[in-house]
Each structure stands twice: as C-alpha cells, then as structure tokens.
Amino acid sequence: MRIGVFDSGIGGDAVAHELRKEFPHADIMTVSDREHMPYGNRDAKEIIELTEKSITPFIQSGCDVIVLACNTATAAAIDVLRERHPTQPFIGLEPMIKPAAALTKTGVIAVLATPATLGSERYLQSKHDFGGAVRILEPDCSDWAKRIEANDMNRQHIDKIISDCIAEGVDVIVLGCTHYHWIKHEIAESAGLKAVVLEPSEAIARRVRELLHI
C-alpha cells in the first residue's frame, strides 16, 4: 500500500507520522511545497496550480490514496483534482465543525484556520450545514503557519488568542490547519480544562481504511 501525503509545509509531516503509526507496513511518501508556503494568503487559482504540480510524483508513482494534509489546499483544490483525476482516490481535510457542534456544551466553538480556508466555499458550506446552532469564532491566525514553519511561534500570542476565545465561552477548539498540529500541546495547555482541542488525524486514518477496504 502506498499513501502520498502533501502539505505546503511541515504540517504534512505530523499527519504522515500518525499514518505511519496506523499503517506501519505502508509506503508513505511525503511532498511539501515550502518554496511557496504559506498557501493561506494566496488565491484559489494559484493554490490549485501549486497543489497539482506538487502531487505529480504521487500520481506518477501510483499512490493508492493521496492525502491533501492541508486545509487550504483541500478547500481550494480537491474538487478540481477529483475532476481531473477521476480514478485517483483523494482524502482532504475539513475544519471539524460537525463534530465540534455536536460536542460543545456552551454552544460556542472556535475554528483556527488560514484566511483562504475561512473564505473558501467548502468551509462556508460546512458552516451552513453544521454550524447553524452554534456560534463560531474565527480568531486571526493568519501568520501562524509562517511562524510555525520558521519555528518562531510566540507563546504569549497563543495564550492571548485562546484566552480571548475562552472568555467568549468557547469549549471546543478546532485546528483547521495541519501546521497548528505542531502547537497542539501549547493550545491545549492554554485552554486547560475549559476547552477540548480537535484535529483530524484519526478521521484521516479511518477514511484511508474505508477507501482501501482494509
């Protein structure tokens, strides 16, 4: 079994790490596009072009499934990629509004994501379909991916964002960018017992099993 994992930067490494634990005998390939990251401030057309170019090695090597381990790339490109490569299974990442809405007790959740993800049709549709009964905060995380990539994330900034969310009643925090997986511990630490942190690693593994019937 061969799985390709793509992200604009180091976020995909976190996803690949989890997949290697779930599928120890799989050949898991990774590709990142650090030259052009962050994707979160680019327009959809450019994200589609960059993503398709980046996944070409996966297509050529016959990957059984390709994981777009990037919420921004998923939001902008996955529908186009499925049209262009109809026999290639893809798994994309979605901000977890549906499970967050089901989990919240206060009725207030926070989605931490890039501007491109928050402005995408897929995200807005997800909000419409699953977020109608909850209040959704979308704090400004526009420079987080770049800072994480440069190992320059400011803990005080994380604490400020999370404390502001908690003050608004947030009890579920969704990580809508795989770069943020690298600071999940710090985010959870800032939230303490007042909010749970959701990210999609387990859901990706389940979807791999479903698509490949394993």
- As annotated, the active-site residues are 70, 177
Question: Any alpha helices (H) in 25-91, and if so which ranges?
Answer: 44-60, 71-84
Question: C-alpha 101: how far from its chain's center?
Answer: 17
The answer to whether 114 and 72 have CB atoms below 8 angstroms apart is: yes
Cα–Cα distance measured from residue 29 to residue 63, given in angstroms and rounded to the nearest whole number? 9
Characterize the bridge pairing of strands 108-112 and 172-175.
parallel
Characterize the bridge pairing of strands 27-32 and 135-137.
unpaired
Place of tokens 């925090």: 173
Residue 61: both structure tokens together: 């090597």
* Amino acid (1-letter code) at residue 177: C
Beta bridge partners of 3: 28, 65
Cα–Cα distance measured from residue 135 to residue 159, given in angstroms and rounded to the nearest whole number? 21
Phi and psi angles of residue 205, each rounded to the nearest 5 degrees, phi first: -60, -40
Report the candidate in 100, 108, 91, 81 with the shortest Cα–Cα distance to residue 176.
Answer: 100
